[in-house]
Structure 1
Amino acid sequence: MLPPHGHILRRIEVDSPLIAPDLALDRLHLIVPDESDAMVVLTTLANGGAAGADPRAVFAERLSELGHLTASFSDDDPPQVRLALPDLTLQCVPQPDPGGDPAHLALRVISLKPVSDHPEGAKILTLTARHPVVTAANGVASDTFRILDWRRAGAKAAKSERLYATLKLVERLEGAEKGRAQTQRTRYIAAREFWRCKTCRALWRPGEQTQCPSCGREFGEMDRRQPEIAKVEFSVPEGEPLNLAPDAAVLVEPEDEPNFVGRVSRIDHHRHTVEVTTRTFEHAGSEGYITPSFNRALYQAKRSVLAAIATRDFGVGLLAQLLVAADTVRSPAYTAGPETAGWLTEGMQANPPQDRAVALLAGLQAGQAVFIQGPPGTGKTTVIVEAVKRRLATDPEERILVTSHSNLAVDNALERLAGTPGMRAVRVARAERVHPAVERFRCDDEDDPRLMEANCYFATCATAATSAITDMNFDVVILDEANKARADESLPALRLGSALALVGDHKQLPPVEDDSLYGIVETDPFLEELVNTSLFEMAWDGGLPAEARCLLTIQHRMHPQISAYISRASYEGQLEDAPEVQAYEFVTRKPLPVALHFVDTDGMRGSRERRGPGGALRNETEVRVAAHVVRLLDERCPRDLSMAVIAMYAEQVERLRQALGRRKFKRSVKIDTVDSFEGRE
């Protein structure tokens, strides 16, 4: 005789502590056949409720109230599925649809036991079901199939060549960084410091200036006693190699002062100097060493997430899907409505692709992901901003992480979101990495009281993966410029999210690396592919369902002649011009009467690329041509227009700055790498 189980569901703590689910189902379908042992138990459970109540409906209601339950799987194929409630365990088997429709797959309950348990050592999947359904037979549409998809993706990833190649890449990168830190260690014999004005934050040079060149404030004893050092120019002995890389994170080790960290902002091979930006109150002294930083914690985070995938940890099931089973990724359902309906961003003139992208990102639930491809000028940052506003308007206590490979992209998103009602933001970074416009949000202390209330975190992928501040589960992680992050770079940060949004454009820049990386992988074609391919591109080209991808097609930035070329070359002619750019007019006379020019330097003297000191690439012919074009445009364009010169390599940027730095222009001329410019408006 079956024991009385009427007390079981009544004892369930509906308001149990919040556990972040791995997977959120809209509808879980369980089949409990008539005359089965499971039905006898359900009938007994329902006896404590209203007279005449349907036992299946009562049980479905209890499941709905419960919120979280856990699942484990047998090793059979198809597997048995064990669902555990606080005081009850359901043993189930998959019940496929006779017609093969995944949406009509259900779990048939073959037994119920008055205990909550899983086999010892079993991998546990935590899930929620918003609308559980319990019936006597098949025929109900649901997303129950996602439970089995989750398991299959984990099993496939654990055996995949891509996973183990990624782990191999991480090991090689770590070894190379260890070696590079030693070989690029650079001695300096003099240091010229630039201090920051405490009033206006402008830079000044001690020993050369007695008042701020910007605000005019007279500097006193307190300024010299405890200065904030923002930049240091180090002199390297003639004849010694200058192997540091531009933009490299470094540790400065003065001979007689405490160490401090910074980032290489400029290398001048002619003057034999290295410029390092920082934010420190420590002096550089007169002698010491500059050593590339080596982030051991980041490599540990990379190995940890890859090991979790290899051991079929269901907590990283969504990452397994992205890595090797993109065809199983699911996103929210979307129904088109009136344009700009409900937009919270003032003055927005949205378009259907943006409306859909925002709705998908704003509607993400645990276990779901969405990929948003944003060609130049199509408003991908606008989509992120609007979606974050909507999520916080719906649930101000939700926790969101906005991350990217670069500090620039993170700061840009935060600056656009600043002032959003209900947003309590923190920018997790060291001081020297943060733009002044968002400095007030910066936090690098895990005891900062703002963390008690924060609901929106902004950090680079590396910081998010290693900081104690972001060591938590986020409702959604948004990876901006996802096309510029390899799988090993993005997975540790994405691991923090129950739901994921990857926003980028794999038709633009690939993952960012220096040339030395290719020496690590050149003998292994599979590793070389991993280095050149982002996780975004892997999934997009790996069978990602149409429902989980969104292409923004209306551009608001470029002259139509420029966008027409880009559309044909990279987007199969899908880009459209917004009305405001269709009205753009030409601004120059001959010899530059059109918006897009191609200048072929092949055959010109010195047209081949060459490597300078330290192996950096440059092309002197293109420097001369670009400098000549800049002078022509400066003479012929209205004064209120700004100008930018973009180059592929840092060494080329340095040569352009030298070539153009001796001339006074009528306007601001910004010269930088393509990596620095991507994403700016």
Structure 2
Amino acid sequence: MNAYANKQKAYNRLLMIYDQQSKEFSVSKSANKTGPHTVKAYQRLRNGIDVVYRVQLSIDYCDRNSNDMKSSAAIILEPYEPQMRQQSHESFHKGRVTFIDERTQTVHFMPITHTMPEGNYMVRFWPSQFVYNSRDHIMNELLENQRLYRFLTFPPPLDESITKEQYLVVCDLAMTRCKFSSKRYNHEQLAAIVAIFAAMQLRIQSKNGFLLPFILHGPPGTGKTTTLVEACRLLEAEDDRAKILVCTPSNTAADMFAYELIHVANVKPTSVFRLNPLTRPTSELNEALKDIVFIKPNSLMMNQFGIPPVKELMQYRIIVCTLLCSTYLALSGMNGQFSHIIVDDAGQASELDTLVPIVGLIGRRDIKVVLAGDPRQLGPVEMIEYFKKNGISSSLIERYETNPNYRNDPRIITLLRANYRSHPSIIAVPSRRFYNNELHVPADAQRRDALATWKALPKQGFPIFWHHVNTPEEKELDGHSYSNKGEMAVVHDYIKRVCTELCVKPSDIGVVAPYNYQMRRLRRLLGDEHKEVTVDTVERYQGSQRRVIIISTVRNNEKDALGFMMSDKRFNTVITRAEELLIIVGNAKVMMKDPSWKEMIDYCRKNEATVDMPSEAFLFSAGEATNGQAEASDNDDEEEEELVQNGTMDTESKLREKASSSEEEEEEDEENSSVVGETTTEEEEESSEEESSDEEQESEED
């Protein structure tokens, strides 16, 4: 246990060092290609000393740095003209971000020195210490109370006082007696709802009396969140002692969960509170949630999210927040006040972040922890290659599923199998590759064949096809991302045809581009005419879906290198975003290198659902193919060369040394030899750090 906690603490601190070090070198590099940016005084406060400034950023800059902007509490500004440095006698200025207006691409901030010269500056954002401090606090708590938390980090065998057979009988009986809000729930969903609702009565526990965490494995489109919302509704309505904390990795997911509680499950707004990060702009507030948040004026006379007094917080039956935002509750003394702690989308959060609300607020043994997610889709993003290869940042739910005590035991894990989102043809390949062919579309699901009669489909009734495009990829100048102009033209054409020939609203169309460079160029190409079409990366589409999904695979080079496209989890995530129509645009010969993409190409070819597809002989002329062991070419590791040049590689070398020393410490504790599961696939290991930077990393946290 000591080795486990110390390793996680070291991991957290090294992440902070790496994050800060990497930003030190970004001020005049790729993050500021469109700089400098204009800074002007915006508002002088009543005290006559402090001034609020406004910096005007470009759309391109915001696209590149949206993660850093949202998660940062500070802004660093370096004077662009030499005379400005001489005038202020400062090489850079640091300010506290007070407001971010995404509509106008402006950031309001207060400089630490009260005033600063107006003019042109190079800009970067500094990571908030709140994230790292929250994690560190939790690991200290875990070290101090090891006996209490051991069952969470290393789940022990179950107490067999209730056997599997007995549990299933009791569970079936409970299903007939619970007052569900609808008859739409299938058997697996009902089993999960009962397991959560009746946790205190069923008492599925370890031999030393701790209630064991329950896992809800929800593949895409199976109604995972719907199931959790119904469980919360039942608890709020039927159990006066229940007090529930619901945590998610992102603010977007937390907003959606709170919305479902109020406007779908019809839970009284007076019972629900949506706790927001104090640094989150109030402009992001969904109007439908205005009655369940707390907003107050700050020292600048601007509205900001706040935290009600503890007595008021204690009155709410359900609190919804992000994982790291739960630290506010722990610091407010609400440890041990909840009966249930539910983590939705747990597969997208690191083990360290998932432990923040659990360790911080569990307080006693009679608390039911629920982890819901899909470890077979994209998980937490790891920026440091060493940790990626050693699986240190895998999700907690993924590690639980590899625990022998959690395998195929209906008392502590339920797999949802009914897909309500997608056309059966769309989920066929993911079901075979990742879910033992168990996913199915139930008979009572909404029919998804409205677009399956489109005349442009190579095969009528089969709403998937692959359009082969053989145009070369282009690497971003002074950057590390990729684009493909030929694919952009094809994607644009399909968007226009889908809108006109199928009368699909632009807002129902999604374009997934794995690289930021392709994403930005596609957005500019679509312009105002199709501005409602969502163009984004795979990571930002997690948890979302559209009637029509168009995928641009981008990659096409002489080495047939795929980079981070060679990932089962990435493939599974992107394919399952589509509801009624899936169009894949890309070079089939290159994508054949990956086993998952090869199976999709074979699936389309077998069903005669291809456009401009070359012959089989040409496709297989690529040589070494698809055993899952193929190595990605080094063209995706080009950022490493720049890291060497600007000094950041020195930091990573130190990280490897420090992490290695942590491993030696862990080896002293034989009990924990399996802490770090071998969860990272070889395909994911081949991802470059630049490409990882395209991914979402706690984009909505503080």
Pairwise TM-score range, normalised by the shorter structure: 0.5 to 0.7
Equivalent residue for 1:260?
97
- Pick aligned residue for 2:105 from 275, 291, 294: 275
Equivalent residue for 1:358?
193
Structure 2 unaligned segments of length 5 or more: list them: 44-51, 78-91, 201-209, 295-304, 546-702
- Pick aligned residue for 1:530 from 383, 386, 392: 392
Equivalent residue for 1:508?
377
Is the 8 Å Cα contact of residues 617 and 651 (structure 1) preserved in structure 2?
Answer: yes
Map Cα deviations across residues 261-294 of structure 1 (whole Å, 9 max, x no partner): 456969xxxxxxx9357899x9997666754343
Residues 1:644 and 2:510 are matched in the alignment: yes
TM-score, L = length of structure 1: 0.59
Map Cα deviations across residues 473-494 of structure 1 (whole Å, 9 max, x no partner): 3221111111111111211122
Map 1:174-213 → 2, pairs under 5 A: 174-185=16-27, 189-190=37-38
CA distance, structure 1, for counterparts of residue 484 and residue 441 of structure 2: 34
Higher Rg of the two aligned structures: 1
Equivalent residue for 1:445?
306
Structure 1 243/381 Cα, relative in aligned 2: closer, same or farther at 3 Å?
closer
Map Cα deviations across residues 218-272 of structure 1 (whole Å, 9 max, x no partner): xxxxxxxxxxx9x97425999xxx8775665233468999732456969xxxxxx
Structure 1 340/606 Cα, relative in aligned 2: closer, same or farther at 3 Å?
farther
CA distance, structure 2, for counterparts of residue 551 and residue 500 of structure 1: 17
- Residue 464 of structure 1: how far off its partner (Å): 1.1
The amino acid of 1:610's aligned partner reads: K
CA distance, structure 2, for counterparts of residue 329 and residue 304 of structure 1: 35
Equivalent residue for 2:525?
659
Is the 8 Å Cα contact of residues 514 and 537 (structure 2) preserved in structure 1?
Answer: yes
CA distance, structure 1, for counterparts of residue 288 and residue 356 of structure 2: 28
- Residue 625 of structure 1: how far off its partner (Å): 3.3
CA distance, structure 1, for counterparts of residue 320 and residue 187 of structure 2: 28
Is the 8 Å Cα contact of residues 189 and 236 (structure 1) preserved in structure 2?
Answer: no
- Pick aligned residue for 1:349 from 158, 170, 184: 184
- Pick aligned residue for 2:215 from 367, 371, 383: 371
- Pick aligned residue for 1:320 from 142, 145, 153: 153
Map 1:83-98 → 2, pairs under 5 A: none
The amino acid of 2:240's aligned partner reads: P
CA distance, structure 2, for counterparts of residue 648 and residue 606 of structure 1: 16
CA distance, structure 2, for counterparts of residue 329 and residue 178 of structure 1: 49
Equivalent residue for 1:472?
335
Structure 1 236/656 Cα, relative in aligned 2: closer, same or farther at 3 Å?
closer
SS of the residue aligned with 2:339? strand
Equivalent residue for 2:699?
none
Give me the CA root mean square deviation: 4.2
- Pick aligned residue for 2:244 from 400, 404, 429: 400
CA distance, structure 2, for counterparts of residue 470 and residue 183 of structure 1: 40
CA distance, structure 2, for counterparts of residue 338 and residue 588 of structure 1: 47
Equivalent residue for 1:234?
57
CA distance, structure 2, for counterparts of residue 675 and residue 406 of structure 1: 12
Residues 1:566 and 2:430 are matched in the alignment: yes
Map 1:404-423 → 2, pairs under 5 A: 404-418=248-262, 419-421=266-268
Map 1:659-678 → 2, pairs under 5 A: 659-661=525-527, 664-665=529-530, 668-678=532-542
- Pick aligned residue for 2:496 from 631, 646, 649: 631
Normalized per residue, which structure has more strand?
1
- Residue 500 of structure 1: how far off its partner (Å): 0.8
The amino acid of 1:570's aligned partner reads: F
Structure 1 190/490 Cα, relative in aligned 2: closer, same or farther at 3 Å?
same
Is the 8 Å Cα contact of residues 247 and 342 (structure 2) preserved in structure 1?
Answer: yes
Map 1:593-612 → 2, pairs under 5 A: 593=460, 594-601=462-469, 604-607=470-473, 610-611=475-476
SS of the residue aligned with 1:459? strand
- Residue 310 of structure 1: how far off its partner (Å): 4.4
Q: Which moved more, 1:482-491 or 1:299-308?
A: 299-308
- Residue 572 of structure 1: how far off its partner (Å): 1.0
SS of the residue aligned with 1:629? helix
CA distance, structure 2, for counterparts of residue 606 and residue 542 of structure 1: 45
- Residue 344 of structure 1: how far off its partner (Å): 5.6
Is the 8 Å Cα contact of residues 427 and 442 (structure 1) preserved in structure 2?
Answer: yes
CA distance, structure 2, for counterparts of residue 372 and residue 423 of structure 1: 28
Structure 1 unaligned segments of length 5 or more: list them: 1-156, 196-228, 267-273
Structure 1 562/447 Cα, relative in aligned 2: closer, same or farther at 3 Å?
closer
TM-score, L = length of structure 2: 0.58
- Pick aligned residue for 2:14 from 172, 191, 205: 172
Residues 1:454 and 2:454 are matched in the alignment: no
- Residue 566 of structure 1: how far off its partner (Å): 2.0
CA distance, structure 1, for counterparts of residue 174 and residue 158 of structure 2: 29
CA distance, structure 2, for counterparts of residue 658 and residue 577 of structure 1: 37
Structure 1 423/678 Cα, relative in aligned 2: closer, same or farther at 3 Å?
farther
Map 1:288-299 → 2, pairs under 5 A: 290-299=123-132
- Residue 341 of structure 1: how far off its partner (Å): 4.3
Structure 1 501/193 Cα, relative in aligned 2: closer, same or farther at 3 Å?
farther
- Residue 510 of structure 1: how far off its partner (Å): 1.4
Structure 1 499/237 Cα, relative in aligned 2: closer, same or farther at 3 Å?
closer
Residues 1:306 and 2:139 are matched in the alignment: yes
Is the 8 Å Cα contact of residues 369 and 548 (structure 1) preserved in structure 2?
Answer: yes
Q: Which moved more, 1:387-396 or 1:640-649?
A: 640-649
Normalized per residue, which structure has more helix?
2
Equivalent residue for 2:368?
499
Equivalent residue for 2:570?
none
- Residue 314 of structure 1: how far off its partner (Å): 2.3
CA distance, structure 2, for counterparts of residue 329 and residue 491 of structure 1: 27
Structure 1 396/338 Cα, relative in aligned 2: closer, same or farther at 3 Å?
closer
Map 1:59-74 → 2, pairs under 5 A: none
> Number of residues paired by the alignment?
465
CA distance, structure 2, for counterparts of residue 613 and residue 472 of structure 1: 49
- Pick aligned residue for 1:424 from 246, 268, 271: 271
Structure 1 658/317 Cα, relative in aligned 2: closer, same or farther at 3 Å?
same
SS of the residue aligned with 1:488? helix
SS of the residue aligned with 1:598? strand
Is the 8 Å Cα contact of residues 250 and 322 (structure 2) preserved in structure 1?
Answer: yes
Equivalent residue for 1:387?
231
- Residue 577 of structure 1: how far off its partner (Å): 0.5
- Residue 311 of structure 1: how far off its partner (Å): 5.3
Q: Which moved more, 1:178-187 or 1:644-653?
A: 178-187
Q: Which moved more, 1:439-448 or 1:562-571?
A: 439-448
Map Cα deviations across residues 7-39 of structure 1 (whole Å, 9 max, x no partner): xxxxxxxxxxxxxxxxxxxxxxxxxxxxxxxxx
SS of the residue aligned with 1:377? coil
